[in-house]
Protein backbone atom coordinates (compact mmCIF):
# COMPACT_ATOMS: atom_id res chain seq x y z
CA UNK A 1 0.00 0.00 0.00
CA UNK A 2 1.22 3.47 -0.81
CA UNK A 3 2.43 5.59 2.16
CA UNK A 4 2.97 9.29 2.39
CA UNK A 5 6.72 8.70 2.13
CA UNK A 6 6.56 7.02 -1.27
CA UNK A 7 3.67 8.95 -2.79
CA UNK A 8 4.61 11.09 -5.81
CA UNK A 9 5.25 14.71 -4.95
CA UNK A 10 2.31 16.95 -5.69
CA UNK A 11 3.00 20.48 -6.89
CA UNK A 12 0.54 22.33 -4.71
CA UNK A 13 1.66 25.66 -6.07
CA UNK A 14 0.43 24.55 -9.49
CA UNK A 15 -2.94 23.44 -8.12
CA UNK A 16 -3.62 26.61 -6.08
CA UNK A 17 -3.19 30.11 -7.43
CA UNK A 18 -2.56 32.94 -5.01
CA UNK A 19 -2.86 36.63 -5.36
CA UNK A 20 0.67 38.02 -5.73
CA UNK A 21 -0.27 41.03 -3.64
CA UNK A 22 -0.62 38.84 -0.54
CA UNK A 23 2.25 38.70 1.89
CA UNK A 24 4.66 35.79 1.93
CA UNK A 25 3.41 34.64 5.35
CA UNK A 26 -0.24 34.68 4.23
CA UNK A 27 0.55 32.60 1.19
CA UNK A 28 2.53 30.14 3.29
CA UNK A 29 -0.35 29.76 5.76
CA UNK A 30 -2.78 29.11 2.91
CA UNK A 31 -0.48 26.50 1.39
CA UNK A 32 -0.09 24.69 4.71
CA UNK A 33 -3.85 24.77 5.30
CA UNK A 34 -4.55 23.37 1.83
CA UNK A 35 -1.99 20.58 2.32
CA UNK A 36 -3.53 19.61 5.65
CA UNK A 37 -7.03 19.44 4.13
CA UNK A 38 -5.83 17.28 1.25
CA UNK A 39 -3.98 15.00 3.66
CA UNK A 40 -7.08 14.51 5.81
CA UNK A 41 -9.15 13.73 2.72
CA UNK A 42 -6.61 11.13 1.54
CA UNK A 43 -6.54 9.50 4.99
CA UNK A 44 -10.36 9.20 4.95
CA UNK A 45 -10.32 7.75 1.45
CA UNK A 46 -7.73 5.14 2.47
CA UNK A 47 -9.82 4.11 5.48
CA UNK A 48 -12.87 3.63 3.31
CA UNK A 49 -10.95 1.55 0.79
CA UNK A 50 -9.60 -0.60 3.66
CA UNK A 51 -13.13 -1.33 4.90
CA UNK A 52 -13.12 1.20 7.69
CA UNK A 53 -16.14 3.21 8.75
CA UNK A 54 -17.96 4.33 5.60
CA UNK A 55 -20.31 7.29 5.73
CA UNK A 56 -21.20 8.06 2.12
CA UNK A 57 -23.54 10.93 1.39
CA UNK A 58 -25.57 9.08 -1.28
CA UNK A 59 -28.94 10.61 -2.08
CA UNK A 60 -30.17 8.01 -4.58
CA UNK A 61 -30.24 4.48 -3.12
CA UNK A 62 -32.32 2.18 -5.38
CA UNK A 63 -31.91 -0.68 -2.90
CA UNK A 64 -34.27 1.10 -0.48
CA UNK A 65 -37.28 -0.16 -2.39
CA UNK A 66 -35.98 -3.73 -2.64
CA UNK A 67 -35.57 -4.43 1.05
CA UNK A 68 -38.86 -6.28 1.63
CA UNK A 69 -41.26 -8.40 -0.37
CA UNK A 70 -44.12 -5.94 0.07
CA UNK A 71 -41.98 -3.04 -1.13
CA UNK A 72 -40.92 -5.05 -4.16
CA UNK A 73 -44.55 -5.90 -4.88
CA UNK A 74 -45.58 -2.27 -4.50
CA UNK A 75 -43.13 -1.00 -7.13
CA UNK A 76 -43.29 -3.97 -9.50
CA UNK A 77 -43.57 -2.75 -13.10
CA UNK A 78 -44.69 -5.93 -14.88
CA UNK A 79 -47.15 -8.56 -13.70
CA UNK A 80 -48.25 -11.79 -15.29
CA UNK A 81 -51.97 -12.56 -15.13
CA UNK A 82 -54.01 -15.63 -16.00
CA UNK A 83 -55.81 -13.46 -18.55
CA UNK A 84 -52.52 -13.17 -20.47
CA UNK A 85 -52.34 -16.91 -21.17
CA UNK A 86 -53.42 -19.03 -24.15
CA UNK A 87 -53.10 -22.81 -23.83
CA UNK A 88 -52.03 -24.71 -27.00
CA UNK A 89 -53.58 -28.18 -27.17
CA UNK A 90 -53.11 -31.10 -29.57
CA UNK A 91 -55.99 -33.35 -30.62
CA UNK A 92 -56.09 -36.55 -32.68
CA UNK A 93 -58.81 -38.92 -33.83
CA UNK A 94 -57.76 -41.68 -31.43
CA UNK A 95 -59.51 -42.79 -28.24
CA UNK A 96 -56.38 -42.61 -26.07
CA UNK A 97 -53.82 -39.93 -25.29
CA UNK A 98 -50.29 -40.25 -26.65
CA UNK A 99 -47.50 -38.46 -24.81
CA UNK A 100 -45.17 -36.23 -26.78
CA UNK A 101 -41.76 -37.50 -25.69
CA UNK A 102 -39.92 -34.25 -26.38
CA UNK A 103 -42.50 -32.18 -24.48
CA UNK A 104 -42.93 -33.44 -20.90
CA UNK A 105 -46.51 -33.19 -19.71
CA UNK A 106 -47.90 -32.60 -23.21
CA UNK A 107 -50.01 -35.15 -25.10
CA UNK A 108 -51.86 -35.66 -28.31
CA UNK A 109 -55.31 -35.83 -26.75
CA UNK A 110 -58.40 -37.76 -27.63
CA UNK A 111 -61.52 -35.65 -28.11
CA UNK A 112 -62.78 -36.60 -24.64
CA UNK A 113 -59.44 -35.71 -23.08
CA UNK A 114 -59.38 -32.42 -24.98
CA UNK A 115 -62.75 -31.50 -23.47
CA UNK A 116 -61.41 -32.29 -20.00
CA UNK A 117 -58.49 -29.93 -20.66
CA UNK A 118 -60.87 -27.22 -21.85
CA UNK A 119 -62.92 -27.61 -18.69
CA UNK A 120 -59.70 -27.21 -16.68
CA UNK A 121 -58.83 -24.09 -18.66
CA UNK A 122 -62.22 -22.57 -17.94
CA UNK A 123 -62.01 -23.39 -14.22
CA UNK A 124 -58.53 -21.84 -14.01
CA UNK A 125 -59.66 -18.68 -15.76
CA UNK A 126 -57.55 -19.19 -18.90
CA UNK A 127 -59.48 -17.24 -21.54
CA UNK A 128 -58.46 -19.11 -24.69
CA UNK A 129 -57.16 -22.39 -26.08
CA UNK A 130 -55.36 -22.89 -29.39
CA UNK A 131 -56.21 -26.20 -31.06
CA UNK A 132 -53.76 -28.03 -33.31
CA UNK A 133 -54.84 -31.23 -35.11
CA UNK A 134 -52.65 -34.32 -35.41
CA UNK A 135 -53.65 -36.10 -38.61
CA UNK A 136 -53.02 -39.76 -39.40
CA UNK A 137 -50.36 -40.20 -42.06
CA UNK A 138 -52.61 -42.18 -44.41
CA UNK A 139 -54.94 -39.16 -44.69
CA UNK A 140 -52.22 -36.78 -45.85
CA UNK A 141 -51.28 -35.93 -49.43
CA UNK A 142 -49.13 -33.40 -51.25
CA UNK A 143 -51.93 -30.80 -51.37
CA UNK A 144 -53.27 -31.29 -47.87
CA UNK A 145 -56.81 -31.82 -49.08
CA UNK A 146 -57.92 -33.55 -45.88
CA UNK A 147 -57.90 -30.10 -44.29
CA UNK A 148 -61.23 -29.47 -46.02
CA UNK A 149 -62.94 -32.75 -45.15
CA UNK A 150 -65.92 -32.56 -42.82
CA UNK A 151 -64.45 -35.51 -40.92
CA UNK A 152 -61.36 -33.45 -39.98
CA UNK A 153 -60.87 -33.90 -36.22
CA UNK A 154 -60.23 -30.16 -35.90
CA UNK A 155 -63.81 -29.25 -36.88
CA UNK A 156 -65.28 -31.90 -34.60
CA UNK A 157 -63.16 -30.65 -31.72
CA UNK A 158 -64.10 -27.00 -32.21
CA UNK A 159 -67.81 -27.80 -32.41
CA UNK A 160 -67.69 -29.84 -29.20
CA UNK A 161 -65.68 -27.24 -27.30
CA UNK A 162 -68.07 -24.43 -28.23
CA UNK A 163 -71.05 -26.61 -27.40
CA UNK A 164 -69.74 -27.48 -23.91
CA UNK A 165 -67.87 -24.25 -23.11
CA UNK A 166 -69.35 -21.42 -25.18
CA UNK A 167 -67.47 -18.71 -23.28
CA UNK A 168 -64.04 -20.28 -23.79
CA UNK A 169 -62.30 -18.70 -26.78
CA UNK A 170 -61.12 -21.14 -29.45
CA UNK A 171 -58.20 -20.27 -31.72
CA UNK A 172 -57.54 -22.44 -34.77
CA UNK A 173 -54.39 -22.79 -36.83
CA UNK A 174 -54.72 -21.85 -40.50
CA UNK A 175 -51.94 -23.79 -42.22
CA UNK A 176 -51.56 -26.92 -44.30
CA UNK A 177 -48.55 -28.54 -42.64
CA UNK A 178 -50.66 -30.89 -40.43
CA UNK A 179 -52.27 -32.22 -43.62
CA UNK A 180 -49.47 -32.35 -46.20
CA UNK A 181 -47.37 -35.46 -46.73
CA UNK A 182 -44.25 -33.34 -47.24
CA UNK A 183 -44.76 -31.32 -44.02
CA UNK A 184 -44.75 -27.90 -45.62
CA UNK A 185 -47.23 -25.13 -44.82
CA UNK A 186 -48.48 -24.93 -48.36
CA UNK A 187 -48.91 -26.55 -51.75
CA UNK A 188 -45.78 -27.36 -53.74
CA UNK A 189 -45.15 -26.33 -57.33
CA UNK A 190 -45.46 -29.01 -60.00
CA UNK A 191 -41.72 -29.62 -59.99
CA UNK A 192 -41.66 -29.72 -56.19
CA UNK A 193 -39.02 -26.99 -56.05
CA UNK A 194 -40.99 -24.40 -54.11
CA UNK A 195 -44.12 -23.68 -52.10
CA UNK A 196 -46.65 -21.92 -54.30
CA UNK A 197 -47.85 -18.72 -52.66
CA UNK A 198 -51.13 -17.86 -54.37
CA UNK A 199 -52.42 -21.41 -54.70
CA UNK A 200 -51.71 -21.95 -51.02
CA UNK A 201 -53.52 -18.74 -50.07
CA UNK A 202 -56.65 -19.97 -51.86
CA UNK A 203 -56.57 -23.19 -49.83
CA UNK A 204 -55.98 -21.24 -46.62
CA UNK A 205 -59.00 -19.02 -47.26
CA UNK A 206 -61.18 -22.09 -47.59
CA UNK A 207 -59.70 -23.60 -44.43
CA UNK A 208 -60.26 -20.39 -42.43
CA UNK A 209 -63.91 -20.20 -43.49
CA UNK A 210 -64.48 -23.84 -42.51
CA UNK A 211 -62.87 -23.24 -39.11
CA UNK A 212 -65.09 -20.20 -38.55
CA UNK A 213 -68.14 -22.21 -39.56
CA UNK A 214 -67.21 -24.85 -36.98
CA UNK A 215 -67.23 -22.13 -34.31
CA UNK A 216 -63.66 -20.79 -34.07
CA UNK A 217 -63.56 -17.36 -32.45
CA UNK A 218 -60.14 -16.55 -33.87
CA UNK A 219 -58.40 -17.99 -36.92
CA UNK A 220 -54.62 -17.84 -36.88
CA UNK A 221 -52.77 -18.11 -40.20
CA UNK A 222 -49.29 -19.44 -39.41
CA UNK A 223 -48.10 -20.17 -42.94
CA UNK A 224 -46.22 -16.93 -43.77
CA UNK A 225 -47.57 -16.74 -47.33
CA UNK A 226 -47.64 -13.23 -48.78
CA UNK A 227 -51.02 -11.50 -48.78
CA UNK A 228 -52.90 -14.23 -46.94
CA UNK A 229 -54.30 -12.03 -44.17
CA UNK A 230 -56.15 -9.71 -46.56
CA UNK A 231 -57.51 -12.61 -48.61
CA UNK A 232 -58.65 -14.50 -45.49
CA UNK A 233 -60.35 -11.36 -44.18
CA UNK A 234 -62.25 -10.94 -47.45
CA UNK A 235 -63.19 -14.64 -47.54
CA UNK A 236 -64.50 -14.56 -43.97
CA UNK A 237 -66.52 -11.42 -44.59
CA UNK A 238 -68.03 -12.79 -47.80
CA UNK A 239 -69.03 -15.98 -45.96
CA UNK A 240 -70.77 -13.97 -43.23
CA UNK A 241 -68.08 -14.30 -40.54
CA UNK A 242 -67.36 -10.62 -40.04
CA UNK A 243 -67.02 -11.17 -36.29
CA UNK A 244 -64.37 -13.89 -36.58
CA UNK A 245 -61.03 -12.34 -35.64
CA UNK A 246 -57.65 -12.95 -37.26
CA UNK A 247 -54.53 -13.53 -35.17
CA UNK A 248 -51.72 -13.37 -37.68
CA UNK A 249 -48.41 -15.14 -37.20
CA UNK A 250 -46.93 -11.94 -38.61
CA UNK A 251 -43.29 -12.36 -37.62
CA UNK A 252 -42.73 -16.11 -37.67
CA UNK A 253 -39.07 -17.00 -37.87
CA UNK A 254 -37.49 -20.07 -39.47
CA UNK A 255 -36.40 -21.34 -36.09
CA UNK A 256 -34.71 -24.44 -34.70
CA UNK A 257 -36.97 -24.14 -31.65
CA UNK A 258 -39.97 -25.74 -33.41
CA UNK A 259 -38.65 -29.30 -33.34
CA UNK A 260 -40.81 -30.76 -30.53
CA UNK A 261 -43.96 -29.20 -32.01
CA UNK A 262 -43.33 -30.96 -35.31
CA UNK A 263 -42.98 -34.19 -33.37
CA UNK A 264 -46.36 -33.50 -31.79
CA UNK A 265 -48.29 -32.84 -35.00
CA UNK A 266 -46.22 -35.14 -37.22
CA UNK A 267 -45.20 -32.46 -39.70
CA UNK A 268 -41.50 -33.23 -40.01
CA UNK A 269 -39.95 -32.57 -43.40
CA UNK A 270 -37.16 -34.60 -45.01
CA UNK A 271 -33.53 -33.51 -44.84
CA UNK A 272 -33.38 -32.95 -48.59
CA UNK A 273 -36.71 -31.14 -48.82
CA UNK A 274 -37.31 -27.46 -49.54
CA UNK A 275 -36.29 -25.31 -46.63
CA UNK A 276 -39.01 -23.52 -44.67
CA UNK A 277 -36.60 -20.59 -44.75
CA UNK A 278 -38.02 -19.86 -48.21
CA UNK A 279 -41.17 -18.51 -46.57
CA UNK A 280 -40.48 -18.13 -42.84
CA UNK A 281 -38.30 -15.24 -41.69
CA UNK A 282 -34.51 -15.25 -41.38
CA UNK A 283 -33.50 -15.19 -37.67
CA UNK A 284 -30.90 -12.55 -38.59
CA UNK A 285 -33.51 -9.96 -39.54
CA UNK A 286 -35.21 -7.46 -37.26
CA UNK A 287 -36.39 -4.63 -39.53
CA UNK A 288 -38.10 -7.15 -41.78
CA UNK A 289 -40.34 -8.14 -38.87
CA UNK A 290 -41.73 -4.61 -38.71
CA UNK A 291 -42.46 -4.72 -42.43
CA UNK A 292 -44.30 -8.04 -42.13
CA UNK A 293 -46.29 -6.85 -39.12
CA UNK A 294 -47.35 -3.56 -40.70
CA UNK A 295 -48.45 -5.37 -43.85
CA UNK A 296 -50.67 -7.70 -41.81
CA UNK A 297 -52.12 -4.80 -39.82
CA UNK A 298 -52.92 -3.01 -43.08
CA UNK A 299 -54.61 -6.15 -44.43
CA UNK A 300 -56.94 -6.45 -41.44
CA UNK A 301 -55.22 -8.52 -38.74
CA UNK A 302 -56.86 -8.02 -35.34
CA UNK A 303 -53.88 -9.43 -33.42
CA UNK A 304 -50.32 -9.99 -34.62
CA UNK A 305 -47.86 -12.52 -33.26
CA UNK A 306 -44.12 -12.93 -32.86
CA UNK A 307 -42.87 -16.53 -32.88
CA UNK A 308 -40.71 -17.76 -31.13
CA UNK A 309 -40.88 -15.55 -28.05
CA UNK A 310 -37.96 -15.94 -25.62
CA UNK A 311 -35.09 -15.73 -28.15
CA UNK A 312 -36.86 -12.83 -29.91
CA UNK A 313 -37.60 -10.41 -27.07
CA UNK A 314 -36.00 -7.60 -29.08
CA UNK A 315 -38.48 -8.24 -31.89
CA UNK A 316 -41.41 -8.22 -29.48
CA UNK A 317 -40.25 -4.86 -28.12
CA UNK A 318 -39.78 -3.38 -31.59
CA UNK A 319 -43.18 -4.59 -32.77
CA UNK A 320 -44.85 -3.31 -29.61
CA UNK A 321 -43.41 0.15 -30.29
CA UNK A 322 -44.55 0.07 -33.92
CA UNK A 323 -48.23 -0.90 -33.53
CA UNK A 324 -51.27 -0.17 -31.41
CA UNK A 325 -53.24 -3.40 -31.95
CA UNK A 326 -52.83 -6.37 -29.55
CA UNK A 327 -49.59 -8.32 -29.72
CA UNK A 328 -49.25 -12.05 -29.04
CA UNK A 329 -46.07 -14.06 -28.56
CA UNK A 330 -45.70 -17.82 -28.82
CA UNK A 331 -43.41 -19.47 -26.29
CA UNK A 332 -42.73 -22.40 -28.57
CA UNK A 333 -42.12 -26.06 -27.91
CA UNK A 334 -38.33 -25.77 -27.90
CA UNK A 335 -38.41 -23.07 -25.25
CA UNK A 336 -40.69 -25.25 -23.13
CA UNK A 337 -38.57 -28.36 -23.67
CA UNK A 338 -35.25 -26.75 -22.80
CA UNK A 339 -36.54 -25.48 -19.44
CA UNK A 340 -37.80 -28.97 -18.62
CA UNK A 341 -34.53 -30.57 -19.72
CA UNK A 342 -32.31 -28.22 -17.73
CA UNK A 343 -34.50 -28.54 -14.64
CA UNK A 344 -34.46 -32.34 -14.89
CA UNK A 345 -30.67 -32.25 -14.83
CA UNK A 346 -30.74 -29.98 -11.80
CA UNK A 347 -29.20 -27.07 -13.68
CA UNK A 348 -32.15 -24.70 -13.26
CA UNK A 349 -34.91 -24.11 -10.73
CA UNK A 350 -37.93 -25.24 -12.74
CA UNK A 351 -40.65 -22.98 -11.35
CA UNK A 352 -38.54 -19.85 -11.10
CA UNK A 353 -37.14 -20.27 -14.61
CA UNK A 354 -40.60 -21.00 -16.03
CA UNK A 355 -42.11 -17.91 -14.42
CA UNK A 356 -39.19 -15.66 -15.31
CA UNK A 357 -39.32 -16.73 -18.95
CA UNK A 358 -42.98 -15.72 -19.17
CA UNK A 359 -42.45 -12.49 -17.27
CA UNK A 360 -39.68 -11.51 -19.70
CA UNK A 361 -42.03 -12.02 -22.66
CA UNK A 362 -44.70 -9.90 -20.98
CA UNK A 363 -42.15 -7.22 -20.04
CA UNK A 364 -40.93 -7.05 -23.65
CA UNK A 365 -44.43 -5.96 -24.69
CA UNK A 366 -46.60 -9.01 -25.38
CA UNK A 367 -50.27 -8.63 -24.45
CA UNK A 368 -50.90 -12.38 -24.56
CA UNK A 369 -48.69 -15.47 -24.54
CA UNK A 370 -49.28 -18.89 -26.06
CA UNK A 371 -47.52 -21.27 -23.69
CA UNK A 372 -47.63 -24.94 -22.77
CA UNK A 373 -47.03 -23.83 -19.17
CA UNK A 374 -50.47 -22.16 -19.13
CA UNK A 375 -52.39 -24.50 -16.77
CA UNK A 376 -49.68 -24.82 -14.13
CA UNK A 377 -48.92 -21.09 -14.16
CA UNK A 378 -52.63 -20.27 -13.97
CA UNK A 379 -52.95 -22.59 -10.98
CA UNK A 380 -50.02 -20.88 -9.26
CA UNK A 381 -51.44 -17.42 -9.93
CA UNK A 382 -54.81 -18.51 -8.61
CA UNK A 383 -53.27 -19.68 -5.34
The DSSP call for residue 282 is: P
pLDDT tier at 326, thresholds 50, 70, 90: very high
Q: What is the pLDDT of residue 143?
A: 93
CA distances from 55 to 36, 67, 82, 197 (A): 21, 20, 46, 70
Kindly report the average pLDDT of the chain as a whole number: 89
**Is the model's pLDDT at 11 over the cut of 60?**
no
**Is the model's pLDDT at 57 over the cut of 80?**
yes
The predicted model gives 45-59 an average pLDDT of 67
Q: What homologous superfamily is domain 82-382 in, according to CATH?
A: Aldolase class I (3.20.20.70)
CA distances from 128 to 111, 169, 218, 234 (A): 17, 4, 10, 24
Q: Where are the domains positioned within the chain?
A: 1-59, 82-382
Q: Do 95 and 114 meet the contact criterion of CB atoms below 8 Å apart?
A: no
Task: Return d(Cα 339, Cα 332) in angstroms, integer.
Answer: 11
Q: What is the pLDDT of residue 63?
A: 92
DSSP 60-122: --GGGGGSSHHHHHHT------GGGEEEEEEEESSSS-EE-TTSTT-EEEPHHHHHHHHHHHH
The predicted model gives 284-313 an average pLDDT of 98
**Is the model's pLDDT at 228 over the cut of 90?**
yes
The predicted model gives 306-332 an average pLDDT of 98
Q: Tell me which of 270 and 96 has the higher pLDDT.
A: 96
**Is the model's pLDDT at 8 over the cut of 60?**
no
CA 23 to chain centre: 75
Task: Return d(Cα 179, Cα 197) in angstroms, integer.
Answer: 17
Largest CA distance in the chain: 109
**Is the model's pLDDT at 23 over the cut of 70?**
no
- CA-nearest of 152, 291, 174, 283 to 228 is 174
pLDDT tier at 6, thresholds 50, 70, 90: low
Q: Express each pLDDT in 130-176 by its tens digit.
A: 999 999 989 999 999 999 999 999 999 999 999 999 999 999 999 99
**Is the model's pLDDT at 53 over the cut of 60?**
no
Torsion (CA) 331, 333, 336, 339 in degrees, nearest 10 = -120
- Residues paired with residue 219 on neighbouring β-strands, in sequence order: 172, 246
Q: Which of 140, 143, 276, 307 is catalytic?
A: 307
Q: Which of 143, 252, 276, 362 is catalytic?
A: 252
| Residue 271 designated active-site | no
Q: Do 127 and 169 meet the contact criterion of CB atoms below 8 Å apart?
A: yes
Task: Return d(Cα 340, Cα 52) in angstroms, integer.
Answer: 47
| Residue 252 designated active-site | yes
The predicted model gives 18-25 an average pLDDT of 56
The predicted model gives 12-18 an average pLDDT of 49
Task: Kindly calculate the radius of gyration of the chain based on its CA atoms and give it in whole angstroms.
Answer: 31
Sorted by sequence, the CB contacts under 8 Å of residue 203 that are 6+ apart come out as 143, 144, 147, 148, 176, 186, 187
Amino acid sequence: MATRANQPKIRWDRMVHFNTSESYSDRRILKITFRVCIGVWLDCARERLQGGGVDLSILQRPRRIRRSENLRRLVRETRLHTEDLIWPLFVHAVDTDHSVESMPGVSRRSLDSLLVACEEAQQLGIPAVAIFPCIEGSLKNTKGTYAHKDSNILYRAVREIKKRFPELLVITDVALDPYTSHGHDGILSEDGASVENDTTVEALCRLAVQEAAAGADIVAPSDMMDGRVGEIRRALDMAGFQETAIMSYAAKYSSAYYGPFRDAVGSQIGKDAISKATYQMDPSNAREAIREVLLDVEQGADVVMVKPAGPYLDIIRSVRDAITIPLAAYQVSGEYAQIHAAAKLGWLDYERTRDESLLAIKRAGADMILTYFAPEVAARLRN
